[in-house]
Amino acid sequence: METIISIRPFLAVLVSLFAVIPIVLSKRHPNVREAWTFGAGAIKFLLIASMLPLILNGKIIEYTVFEVIPGIAIKFKVDPLGMLFALVASSLWIITSAYSVGYMRGLKEHSQTRYFSFFAVALSATIGVAFAANLLTLYLFYEMLSLATYPLVTHHQDREARSSGRKYLTFILGTSIAFILPAMLISYHLSGTLEFSKHGFLVGTASKGVLTVLLLLFIFGFAKAAIMPFHSWLPAAMVAPTPVSALLHAVAVVKVGVFSILRILTGVYGIDLLKSLNLGTLVSYIAAFTILTASLIALSQDGLKRRLAFSTISQLSYIVLGVALLSPKGMIGGMTHIGMHAFGKITLFFGAGAIFVATGKQKISEMVGIGKRMPITMSAFFIGALSVIGLPPTGGFFSKWYLVLGTLQAKQVVMLVVLLTSSLLNAVYFLPVVYKAFFVSPEESLFEEEAKEAPLWCVVPMVITAIVSIALFFYPDIFSKLAELAIR
């Protein structure tokens, strides 16, 4: 595979970090301030998109910043998997920023400068993880993301925010220090390198027992992936303003966790080693447990955002499961699910936020008949729900289809049953929300007939992500090609 040296990945990371300076300086002029966010978002996206053709041609882009410890550099590498994730995160940042403007101004939130600044930092960290070429670089940006999102989660600065913030840090920072740091150093001690590579770097370095424990440290240590029992920070983090929940806790933060696990599976252990030690099965059972349990818990949640959060926990493990199947189709399904789920779930969160801005309602039981009041929002919500359930004509169908094929290819019938059961549960906890929004008699309805939507800044981004979710059904190529390249 041909390697090209280019500074572009590094710039893509830096652009939103440096955008913080003008964002803070223009705090007295909200419109100018938001213009900087959009500017940085556009540049970031274009930088990443400009690398796409090279990656699709089977090339790899690398850039070494410098050796921060003798032998270990801060180094970036753009490969198909990283590109897939970076594309999703950077494109959705622009859309979410537009939504943030509508949401934050609609609710007249305080400290908006702080909000937009840390959002920009969080996106730098996300792209940093996507393009990290070794475990140290990944860890660096992973921690940066944990810290940058703390002020976003605790934005309201009330008691609830404080206790959720504590939970957030305990799980996210606690696991990364207690599990990832030692696991990383043990790996380094064993192999003398931290560089991700096709066949991993742990082959033949230690016994099966040691490698199994190490893998468990990694899987649970990346608690951003919300694999049970390290998931409860995610529902707690729903105290954040909705755009934060939408981009960070449905896309950037949680998928950084999943992405890190994928890197461990494919770049540190390598498919062959996992197969020979039969560790894929272990991971897929861990993921399957989370998928089913989280889906069941989601059923009982009345808070809309909390229900979405448990749905996310379950969907994240789909991605892990897909890759842990170690069959080509399963891996394609898992990797494309990063993108498919992102667009579907962010639409759902945008919907929840729009309802909150327009009506102040957060509980599902209070949303009976809301379809008449907010028809566009609820239609978009319906499309998002279809995608997360995995029904046509949405992108979610594509990744679920591949996941199902993957279980057959790997001859894991149990996992097939898990996937089908979970999809059924998804339908059970999403479709009633939509049904009760539209199909109720006027007496039951809690809302006036007259349509009154959230501000345009909220509605337009939601419509865009809903349309993209449908478009991904007809044109899944962009993600599927990258996924195919990634497993080659």
Partner 1 sequence: MISAAQIPIFIVIVPFLAAFLISIAGLFKEKYCQPLSVLAMSVSLYAAVATLIHVINHGVIHYHLGGWPPPIGIEYVIDHLNAMVLVIVSFVGFIVSIYSKKSVEQELPDKIPQFYTLYNLLVTGLLGITITGDAFNLYVLLEITALTTYALIAVGRGRAALSGFNYLIMGTIGASFYLLGVGHLYIMTGSLNMADLHQLLPSLYGSGAIFIAFLLILIGVWLKMAFFPMHGWLPNAYTYAPSSTSCLVAPLMTKVSVYVMIRIMFSVFSPKFTFQEFSFHEIVVWLAVVAIVGGSLFALTQKDFKKMLTYLIIAEVGYMVGGVWLANHNGIMGAVLHILNDSMMTLCMFLVVGIIVYKTKGHHFDNLGSLYKKMPFTMAAFTIGALSMIGVPPTAGFFSKWYLILGAIDANQWEFLVALIFSSLVNVVLFFRIIEFAYYPSFSNQHGDAHGSEKIDEAPASMLVPLLIVAAGLLVIGVFTGKIVTYIIQYTIPNGL
Question: Which residue ranges make up the site for partner 1 (CB under 8 A)?
Answer: 66-70, 110-111, 136, 139-140, 143, 147, 151, 154, 157-159, 161-162, 165-166, 169, 173-174, 177-178, 181-182, 185-186, 188-189
- Sequence-ordered alpha helix ranges (H) in 265-391: 271-277, 279-299, 304-324, 328-359, 370-373, 375-389
Cα–Cα distances (Å) from 92 to 11, 12, 78, 339, 350, in that order, read: 18, 15, 19, 10, 12
Residue appearing with tokens 């349509």: 451
- Cβ closest to partner 1, residue 138 vs residue 472: 138
- Cβ closest to partner 1, residue 137 vs residue 301: 137
- Cβ closest to partner 1, residue 36 vs residue 141: 141
The helix or strand, by DSSP H or E, that contains position 397, with its residue range, turns out to be helix 395-409
Bond before 229 cis per omega within 30 degrees: yes
Q: For the chain, how long is the longest CA-to-CA vector?
A: 72
CA terminus-to-terminus distance, the chain: 11
Identify the sign of the CA torsion 437, 440, 444, 447: positive
How far apart CA 254 and CA 223 sit, in angstroms, is 8
- Cβ closest to partner 1, residue 164 vs residue 399: 164
- Cβ closest to partner 1, residue 151 vs residue 243: 151
- Cβ closest to partner 1, residue 224 vs residue 341: 224
Q: And the tokens for 477?
A: 């190529």
- Cα–Cα–Cα angle for 312, 317, 319, rounded to 5 degrees: 100
Helix axis angle for 112-131 and 135-153, nearest 10°, is: 160
How far apart CA 167 and CA 240 sit, in angstroms, is 13
- Cβ closest to partner 1, residue 93 vs residue 168: 168
Cβ-based neighbour number of residue 28 at 10 Å: 8
Q: And the tokens for 75?
A: 């180094």
How far apart CA 145 and CA 259 sit, in angstroms, is 14
CB of 106 to partner 1, least distance (A): 18
- Cβ closest to partner 1, residue 173 vs residue 277: 173
How far apart CA 227 and CA 283 sit, in angstroms, is 11
Which residues, in sequence order, are CB contacts of 35 under 8 Å at separation 6+?
A: none
- Cβ closest to partner 1, residue 145 vs residue 251: 145
Residue appearing with tokens 């990656």: 55
